[in-house]
Chain A
Amino acid sequence: MNENDSADPLVRCRGLRKEYGSGEGMVRAVDEVDLEVARGEALAIMGPSGCGKSTLLHLLGGLDRPTAGELWLGGRRIDRLCERGLAQLRRHDVGFVFQAFHLMDELTAEENVELPALLAGRSPRDARQRARELLGEVGLADRADHLPSALSGGQRQRVAVARALANEPQLVLADEPTGNLDSAATLEVLRLFEDLHTAGLTLVVVTHDERIAATADRLISMRDGALVDETRLVGGTRGNLGDLAGLGG
């Protein structure tokens, strides 16, 4: 079977577990999670603080290793990859968007966006061109030379999204991408994600905000490390983002 067959899920995990500590102090952050994410799907993960949403996201993106269970990305088993293998996975197949943006303070927007491409071995010229295209796509072409400190929260997060797309990943993982943003900036980022979704990119978004989750194709809820509920949102609620963000626009 062709691993790139669109009928195959892009992400698949079985009995995924992540434990911290040992003995009586052991904490199971992710508990026997079975999950599939289809190609091009937008999945939202919700749950209270400390329920394991972010840990699950880190496992899916190869930022951390599971204690047990099986995990596939694009038909390739990744839970047994060495650190180097995981790094290559993050470099080529996964893009991350963090709540705290995690931009490098001393680099301009353009330099932040081109960094993953340079790490992947692209020529400086290609990397720069790709960064300009992406900044244009996220509406920040005129802010390319600005340092993060000169950008608003929403603009920083758009830079982070552009950076996540630098190496054309199969999967974009976003951890509370609007958690540090005001309503207007939230709307900016949501519109960006909608564009990515429309373009067929697979998105997994961890959020506390039901309005954000409502834009996804599917919503799963977590509690105490386990999946407890799943809701399919046919077509999401695209087109009403302004209402969702409370801006009426």
Chain B
Amino acid sequence: MGKLLLVWRLAAKDLRHNALEAVLLLLAVAAAATTLTLGLALHGVTNAPYARTRAATHGPDVVASVFPGGPNAPGPAKVGELRPLEHAKGVVAASGPFPVTWVVLRGRSSAGAEVEGRSTAPVAVDQPKLTAGSWVRPGGVVLEAGFASALDLHVGDQLRLAGVPLRVVGTAVTAAVTSYGKLCYIGCDDRNVSYGQPGFVWTTTADAARVAHVAKEPIAYFLNLKLADPAQAAGFANRFDASTANAPSAPYLVSWQDIANEDAKVIGNVQLVLFTGSWLLVLLALASVAVLVGGRMAEQSRRVGLVKAVGGTPTFVAMVLVLEHMLVGVGAAAVGLLLGWLVAPTLDGPGAGMLGSAGAPALGPAGIGLVLALAVAVAVAATFVPTLRAARTTTVRLLDDAARTPRRRPMVLKVSAHLPASLLVGVRLAVRRPRRLLLAVFSVAVTASGIMAVLVVHATNAARGLAPNDPQDLRLDQVTALLSVMLVVLAAVNALFIAWATILDTRHAAALVRALGATPGQVTVGISVAQLVPALAGALLGIPGGLGIFDVAKKGGSAVIPAAGWIALMVLGTVLAVAVLAAIPARVGTRRSVAEVLQAEAA
């Protein structure tokens, strides 16, 4: 019991003594825990808003559509082909067929619009639920709520559909089509819709016909079907589509499950980005912890030696170190869980296109356990090597505070002799610890990969032509921006840690070269410049890394390579940022007088 108390006391006191390092470590692990929590919290909440909307709107189980003829079946849409479906086996109710056309909407801004003509009377299947205003009337349109929100249109606003002036009389939600931004996932006739993905608009049947006439656009027809067993909708649609595959003018059927899955992709993509990001952050946190703990070991070897000198066994020393980092890990997990729980509702909200609020997502014991285990594992795993080293090093050597003799690099020594003094100092100091160099490369590469992946996502989305103010795009922007900031902050913390650990480790050598005539500026520039090589290597590795992440996350989805200028900016920005960040602790490290350092080392 007494020993446990002593372990606790030593661990707690050391954490308090090195509060700043402990806080930075906690933040690094907490960042990873937060994103992992977010990813887990979003799992399973994706379909709830669609289900609510479907219930409130008497949503269809199957939507059947016929389109105007293409090259294989010229002529208008054959609405008659929809009629037999109303009486097909298993169908218990229907609404429609409703005429649909595609035109350009001009309001405060312009966008493509899919216009559906409706009667002013309510229908039994797919009666959109008004979120504001009233239902369609002559001259009055109702906008799908997500579309209205994206275009900033409200009840009472004027707009033009193919130049026809109309007034917004309401906004509504529906479960018959996917919410704004992904309306054309099954294909749109977008010959006249030159603004990317369209939004959904309801007008009266007469207004829809007038708009189509003015726009000289053909008309398609949508028929909503209710089945006796909604669960069979996907099978019903698939069987029908398969049986009419060779008939170009035959109706095309989509089940409510297809629509729900497509809607869920909004959050699904966010979830994917968060999961990918959280693993990158976990890797960075691991690097942070390894560098920090390694740096502290160098600094604290004398303290460990004292513990061993007064009878502490290697196991006892290991217990103190592991407990210290477990405390940080548990604290970080708690912070991560709390932040994730607080932030998740802002990311998994249904958006304007769906009903209801997701609220705080549920995170089960398994999820909490996973976050906790991961945070603790990150902290504990990184203490393994230093703990082993502390245990293996003799007590006398620890008390001498003697650092491990750096490995000799004859080639580096030979080459560096030809460099200017700053570089000579920097390169020779940096290569003393090759594992730390590799850690620096790894840390920068992870961050650069994350940033590169974000650039690829943006380039790919831009090439795909998303809808204006697409909520999916906006939400992904938010999440990728958040992740980018976290990656950059964590990488910056790592760069500082690595530079600081290098300075602690090389304080004697740095003081010595200063005693031999190197200026503090030369030492600072040297250490800073020496970080450029791993930074450049890491940034360059980030290019294939980012493409790889995108490829894995999208499971082979085709990536668009960002413009060379953006990639160059990412590489140069990363290298410059690392050099500047390394210069800060390097400069601070050279403030101590040479005599003081050399005397302390000789003591």
Bound CA span A96–B421, Å: 19
One of B53-61, B248-256, B506-514 contacting the partner: B506-514
B250 to chain A, nearest CB (A): 79
Query: Of B406, B512, B518, which is within 8 A of A102 by CB?
Result: B512
A65 to chain B, nearest CB (A): 8
Query: Of A63, A120, A149, A163, which is within 8 A of B593 by CB?
Result: A63
Asked if B517 lies at the interface with its beta carbon under 8 angstroms from chain A, I say yes
Asked if B598 lies at the interface with its beta carbon under 8 angstroms from chain A, I say yes
B601 to A100, Cβ gap below 8 A? yes
B598 to A87, Cβ gap below 8 A? no
Bound CA span A128–B515, Å: 20
**Given known contacts A102-B602, A106-B406, A127 and B417 CB-to-CB distance under 8 angstroms:** yes
A83 to B520, Cβ gap below 8 A? yes
Bound CA span A105–B509, Å: 9
A84 to B418, Cβ gap below 8 A? no
Chain B residues whose CB sits within 8 angstroms of the CB of A104 once the complex forms: 509, 512
B548 to chain A, nearest CB (A): 37
Bound CA span A54–B598, Å: 12
Question: 1/0 per residue A92-133: CB within 8 Å of B?
Answer: 100010111010111100010011101111001001100000
B407 to A106, Cβ gap below 8 A? yes
Chain A residues whose CB sits within 8 angstroms of the CB of B594 once the complex forms: 63-64
Bound CA span A197–B513, Å: 26
Asked if A147 lies at the interface with its beta carbon under 8 angstroms from chain B, I say yes
Bound CA span A64–B511, Å: 12
Asked if B122 lies at the interface with its beta carbon under 8 angstroms from chain A, I say no
Q: Whose C-beta in chain A lies nearest to the C-beta of B421?
A: A119
Query: Of A63, A65, A105, which is within 8 A of B515 by CB?
Result: A63
Query: Of B516, B520, B595, which is within 8 A of A163 by CB?
Result: B516
Chain B residues whose CB sits within 8 angstroms of the CB of A147 once the complex forms: 408
Bound CA span A124–B414, Å: 9
A98 to B509, Cβ gap below 8 A? no
B429 to chain A, nearest CB (A): 10
Chain B residues whose CB sits within 8 angstroms of the CB of A118 once the complex forms: 417, 421, 424
How many residues of A are in contact with the other chain, CB < 8 A?
37
A87 to B519, Cβ gap below 8 A? yes
Asked if A158 lies at the interface with its beta carbon under 8 angstroms from chain B, I say no
**Given known contacts A63-B594, A105-B406, A115-B513, A84 and B519 CB-to-CB distance under 8 angstroms:** yes
Chain B residues whose CB sits within 8 angstroms of the CB of A114 once the complex forms: 417
B418 to A124, Cβ gap below 8 A? yes
A116 to B417, Cβ gap below 8 A? no
Chain A residues whose CB sits within 8 angstroms of the CB of B518 once the complex forms: 87, 91, 119
Interface residues on B, range: 20 to 34
Asked if B405 lies at the interface with its beta carbon under 8 angstroms from chain A, I say yes
Q: Whose C-beta in chain B lies nearest to the C-beta of A179?
A: B602
**Given known contacts A58-B595, A63-B593, A105-B405, A119 and B516 CB-to-CB distance under 8 angstroms:** yes
**Given known contacts A63-B593, A87-B520, A102-B602, A107 and B512 CB-to-CB distance under 8 angstroms:** no
Q: Whose C-beta in chain A lies nearest to the C-beta of B593?
A: A64
A88 to B512, Cβ gap below 8 A? no
A196 to chain B, nearest CB (A): 18
A64 to B516, Cβ gap below 8 A? no
Bound CA span A31–B521, Å: 31
B397 to chain A, nearest CB (A): 13
Bound CA span A87–B520, Å: 8
A96 to B515, Cβ gap below 8 A? yes
B255 to chain A, nearest CB (A): 70
A116 to B516, Cβ gap below 8 A? yes
A174 to chain B, nearest CB (A): 13
A64 to B595, Cβ gap below 8 A? yes
Bound CA span A55–B599, Å: 10
Chain A residues whose CB sits within 8 angstroms of the CB of B602 once the complex forms: 98-100, 102
Asked if A167 lies at the interface with its beta carbon under 8 angstroms from chain B, I say yes
**Given known contacts A64-B593, A99-B602, A111-B413, A91 and B517 CB-to-CB distance under 8 angstroms:** yes
Asked if B160 lies at the interface with its beta carbon under 8 angstroms from chain A, I say no
**Given known contacts A63-B594, A106-B407, A119-B421, A90 and B516 CB-to-CB distance under 8 angstroms:** yes
A87 to B601, Cβ gap below 8 A? no
B513 to A106, Cβ gap below 8 A? no
A119 to B424, Cβ gap below 8 A? yes
B506-550, CB < 8 A from A:
508-509, 512-522
B25 to chain A, nearest CB (A): 30
A129 to chain B, nearest CB (A): 13
Query: Of B405, B519, B601, which is within 8 A of A149 by CB?
Result: B405
Chain B residues whose CB sits within 8 angstroms of the CB of A127 once the complex forms: 417
A166 to chain B, nearest CB (A): 8
Bound CA span A146–B521, Å: 31
A120 to B517, Cβ gap below 8 A? yes
B515 to A102, Cβ gap below 8 A? yes
Asked if B78 lies at the interface with its beta carbon under 8 angstroms from chain A, I say no
Since A63-B515, A64-B593, A128-B417 are in contact, a sample of 6 more A-B pairs with Cβ atoms closer than 8 Å, ordered by chain A residue number, is A98-B602, A99-B602, A111-B413, A116-B516, A118-B424, A119-B522
6 A-B pairs with least C-beta separation: A91-B517, A100-B602, A87-B519, A124-B417, A58-B595, A63-B595
Give 30 A-B contacts (CB < 8 Å), ordered by A residue: A54-B599, A58-B595, A63-B594, A64-B593, A84-B520, A87-B514, A87-B517, A87-B519, A88-B517, A90-B517, A91-B516, A92-B517, A98-B598, A98-B602, A100-B601, A102-B508, A102-B512, A102-B598, A102-B601, A104-B509, A105-B405, A106-B407, A107-B408, A118-B421, A119-B421, A119-B516, A120-B517, A128-B417, A147-B408, A149-B405
